[in-house]
Amino acid sequence: MNTITINARRPTGAINPNIYGHFAEHLGRCIYQGLYVGEESAIPNVKGMRTDVVEALKAIKAPVLRWPGGCFADEYHWRDGIGPKDRRKRMVNTHWGNVVEDNSFGTHEFMELCRQIGCAPYVNGNLGSGTVREMSEWVEYLNSAGDSSVVRERWANGQKEPFGVRYFGVGNESWGCGGNMRPEHYADEYRRYQTYCRNHGAHTLYRIACGANADDYRWTEVLMERAGRFMDALAVHYYTLPSGDWHNKGSATGFDEAAYYRTLKQALRMEQIVRGHLQIMSRYDPERRVGLIVDEWGTWFDAEPGANPGFLYQQNTMRDAMVAAMTLNIFNAHCDRIVMANLAQTVNVLQAVILTEGDQMVRTPTYHVFDLYKAHQGATALDIRLEGVAEAGEGVPQLSASASLKGGALTLTVANTSAGKPAQARVALLGLDAKAVAGRILAGAMADYNDFGANRVCVRPFEGASLGSDGVQLNLPPCSVAEITCS
């Protein structure tokens, strides 16, 4: 029998809402067509931002959005994206599909998008191909209230008050597309660039250093030793590939059970990766001042047939939902150290929560997981133990769960990872006298996905949770993610 024991008397940390963050790059149809269509578009919009997409992101309480990249960040020159649109510089996006980037979405548009969603902006600066001065002036443009020429430019562009950006990344993947640097070199560059990213007035920057590629622990070692005291957080990237092989990643929708479990097994590597980096960080920062961020994570499959391979457009199935559920449970378990995470990428790219086609919009299974998990944002994580759990396949445990408490209500999120078997579980609640239980569930076959005009998987009320004298009894269908609320 599966037993889940939750101890409401044992808090394990506060879940930073930013763990449920997102990432939007100038890549494929993420920004253009996905988030931004321009004011002249026939697609309903407010100041160019798609109303349907903004509303959908508000509904899952998207807390923070990272922009403009990704690899694009280290090729992005912010001045190209301000001022009258017809005078903005055109460039070719050489990282992603060699398409023309007309810079019609720039700093002001990004800030407007965040304002509409109600999320915090996370701006990633260009260390790879930009200058120290350029980065310094971007921060000044964003945050200063002083009467400088840079600030006057912002006024001329219609923004009197500082934007007040807090989260600022100093380079992206500097070990790869952001300059192919050695950690020793990046550590020095980071120290130099961040020096000129000033705090302006009350707008104190939260400086984020580029972290490692997956399990490259040496990167963390060198960064923490040489630059740890100059950063607020270190941002690691880890993507889930079914095969682990970048040259043959596998299809997003056409996969068998073996590939399904291999993918979940790859996703579970996040636990080890997080632990590995935290261990090193704690050695150099015993006070645990520096936070860990995972500002790119998610599945990465072969692009959909017929799509521009440089656009990284992929469909999103119940397998992605499982990856999201398991990963978010891992982040909740480490919420004492993980201060932010950003799923890649919000719309039409990689493990997107939303897909668009013209004026149509689809909420993916991953979107629904973020909806089921939103009660965890800002809640207190609770100690949770899983016992007697069998293996679903490839060493992946059949159950993955996390629990939190907010305002007297306990939220348990649990995934049954088995593609074919239901799961029964008894949930013992220590320190909570529950009087009522309610639930919502997302369930389907492992390769089910939502398409334009075919909404196959969505959140429904969950009837499989009942309250008894010895806790809550759960009856979970195969391949499902549930949110159970006890109050």
Q: Between residues 174 and 402, which has the closer beta carbon with respect to ligand AHR?
A: 174
The catalytic position among 75, 101, 296, 483 is: 296
Q: Is 71 in the site for ligand AHR (CB under 6 A)?
A: yes
* Shortest Cβ 153–ligand AHR spacing (Å): 28
CB under 6 A: which stretch of 63-71, 179-187, 251-259, 369-377 binds ligand AHR?
A: 63-71
Tokens 């790879």 found at: 128
Instruction: Please tell me the number of Cα atoms within 13 Å of 464 on its side-chain side.
Output: 21
Q: Between residues 63 and 69, which has the closer beta carbon with respect to ligand AHR?
A: 69
**Is the distance from CB of 28 to CB of 313 less than 8 angstroms?**
yes
Q: Between residues 73 and 415, which has the closer beta carbon with respect to ligand AHR?
A: 73
Q: What are phi and psi of 238, to 5 degrees?
A: -150, 125
- Sketch the per residue contact string, 220 through 259, with ligand AHR: x for CB under 6 A, - otherwise: ----------------------------------------
Among 2, 6, 25, 168, the residue binding ligand AHR under the rule CB under 6 A is 25
CB under 6 A: which stretch of 55-63, 215-223, 344-352, 391-399 binds ligand AHR?
A: 344-352
Scanning residues 168 to 207, which ones bind ligand AHR (CB under 6 A)?
A: 172-173
CA–CA dist 19, 64 (Å, integer) = 9
Scanning residues 257 to 316, which ones bind ligand AHR (CB under 6 A)?
A: 296
* Shortest Cβ 71–ligand AHR spacing (Å): 4
DSSP state of 424: E
- Sketch the per residue contact string, 423 through 462, with ligand AHR: x for CB under 6 A, - otherwise: ----------------------------------------
Residue 173 appears among annotated catalytic residues? yes
Residues 6+ apart with CB under 8 A from 194: 170, 207, 209, 230, 231
Among 21, 70, 179, 393, the residue binding ligand AHR under the rule CB under 6 A is 70
CB under 6 A: which stretch of 69-77, 105-113, 179-187, 410-418 binds ligand AHR?
A: 69-77
* Shortest Cβ 319–ligand AHR spacing (Å): 19
Among 165, 187, 339, 344, the residue binding ligand AHR under the rule CB under 6 A is 344
CA–CA dist 208, 21 (Å, integer) = 15
**Is the distance from CB of 379 to CB of 411 less than 8 angstroms?**
yes
**Is the distance from CB of 476 to CB of 414 less than 8 angstroms?**
yes
The two tokens of residue 408 are 């007297």
Q: Between residues 173 and 232, which has the closer beta carbon with respect to ligand AHR?
A: 173
CB-based burial, 163-195: b 16+ in 10 Å, e otherwise: bbbbbbbbbbbbbebbbebebeebbebbbebbe
The catalytic position among 173, 184, 225, 257 is: 173
DSSP state of 214: T
Q: Is 69 in the site for ligand AHR (CB under 6 A)?
A: yes
Of the candidates 485, 486, 366, 482, the one whose C-alpha atom is nearest the C-alpha of residue 424 is 482
Tokens 């923070």 found at: 64
* Shortest Cβ 367–ligand AHR spacing (Å): 18
Q: Between residues 249 and 376, which has the closer beta carbon with respect to ligand AHR?
A: 249
Of the candidates 166, 163, 185, the one whose C-alpha atom is nearest the C-alpha of residue 174 is 185
Q: Between residues 231 and 350, which has the closer beta carbon with respect to ligand AHR?
A: 350
CA–CA dist 142, 123 (Å, integer) = 10
Q: Between residues 8 and 323, which has the closer beta carbon with respect to ligand AHR?
A: 323
CB under 6 A: which stretch of 64-72, 372-380, 415-423, 467-475 binds ligand AHR?
A: 64-72
Cα 353-359-362 angle, rounded to 5 deg: 25
Q: To 10 degrees, what angle do helices 217-227 and 183-195 make?
A: 40
List active site positions. Answer: 173, 296
The contact set with ligand AHR (CB under 6 A) reads 25, 69-71, 172-173, 296, 344-345, 350
